Amino acid sequence: MTDEDTDGSATRHREGPLEGLRVVDFSGMVAGGFATMTLADFGADVVAVEHPQAGDPVRDWGPFDPESGMSLWWKALARGKRSVTCDLSTPEGHALALDLVETADVVVENFRPGTMERWDLSYDDLREVNPGVVMVRISGYGQTGPRAEQPGFGTVAEAMSGFAHVNGFPDREPLLPPIPLADMAAGHYAVQAAMFALFEREVGPGGDGSSEGQVVDVSLYESLFRMFPGDVEAYDRLGQVRERRGNHHSNAAPRNVYEAQDGYVALSASAQSIFENLAETVGHPELLDDERFATNDARVEHADELDEYIAPYIAERTVEEAIADLGAGDAVVAPVYDVSDVFEDEQYAARDNLVEVTDEDVGEITTHGVVPRLTRTPGAVEHLGPRRGQHNEAVYGAELGLDGETLDDLREQGVI
């Protein structure tokens, strides 16, 4: 591992609205990593703290770049961040961690609840050196409750939140998502809540700010559970439990994925005027006089029957032909893409959803553009994920003031 830094200066300029915001990231894996990646995208100086031997587990996730052997997951998730190493469980590492916290606006961690406390790095410990720090704590079940100290990865959150129960087809088992959905949702909530807490610290309800930080408690299961508006109310009032419907929707019809000659088309036409145009387009104007399809509510109840009129029409056409014909009738329709299609799509290109960067390990590579879009301070991808401990010299030396001899001693002890 190297301490060599491509930007060794203590003064760094970042593009984006969060320039000047300092984030110390004690997290790892996806939820915390996604949150701090987003902050880095918008200009925050994110210092990711990794264990000197193990590093972030995402570094071991494939696929791997064929030449450098580095994880492309890591390159994507750690973009814009700086990496330092520190063994938080040692006295020397503890002291270094507090030195970092003293410089921070936000601290992010996603250990099992109680871990930071065992290392004497609780919120009370952090605010002793930095009363204004906002501590974002991400865990499976949150910091309180009977499950708090249980391990909680995204898989169990996706099951317990209710997502898996409603995802998939009614004649099949519950279906987990193919991406770390609960982690990503928690990452988004963590960013939002950190901004809420910083706003309160700087502005406050009275307009003059409190100058004090606070704890942000984000759980994976709550982040996904919160994305089901109406379900709680429906069960409370009606005893209604949402069930799996495949690609159908409980409040819209027609809505499905249909097979064309050379791929798949996603279609939604629940608005009455759009459905009327769709019925004409697929050659079945008589549907307009059929009570099964007279209203959206009726169509939802008879969605399978309605598909019997739409599916054959699309099956006789290519994706391009189906989209052109259905789109002419104002149907909301699009092709089902894989990532290779994304690379060829004009909409993605027009909005810079794919950007090329030069990475010191893997060379020229394409990555996601920054979203959401801000017109005046849009943020940028400065670089992809760094090597482990790459910024030890810059952060510990140039910024915290440790001399070379001290750094060498810490390396020999395995602290950094």
Say if strands 22-25 and 332-335 run parallel, antiparallel, or are unpaired: unpaired
- Our answer to whether residue 125 is catalytic in this structure is no
CB 385 within 8 A of CB 28: no
Distance CA 137, CA 38 (A): 16
What is d(CA 374, CA 379) in angstroms, rounded to the nearest whole number? 8
Sequence-ordered list of residues with C-beta below 8 angstroms from that of 319, at least 6 positions apart, any chain = 260, 261, 262, 263, 264, 265, 335
Q: Which two tokens stand for residue 395?
A: 């952060």
Q: What Cα–Cα distance (Å) separates residue 177 from each residue in 154, 156, 333?
A: 10, 12, 23
Type of residue numbered 140: G
53, 414 contact by CB (below 8 A): yes
Catalytic residue among 5, 41, 183, 217: 183
Report DSSP letters for 118-166, one per residue: HTT-SHHHHHHH-TT-EEEEEESS-SSSTTTTS---HHHHHHHTSHHHH
Enter the tokens of residue 413: 């002890």
Of 220, 222, 227, nearest to 110 (Cα)?
220
Q: How many C-beta atoms lie closer than 10 Å to residue 142's C-beta?
A: 18
Output the CA torsion sign for 338, 341, 346, 352.
positive
Q: How far apart are CA 209 and CA 166, in angstroms?
A: 43
Could you give the residue numbers annotated as active site? 183
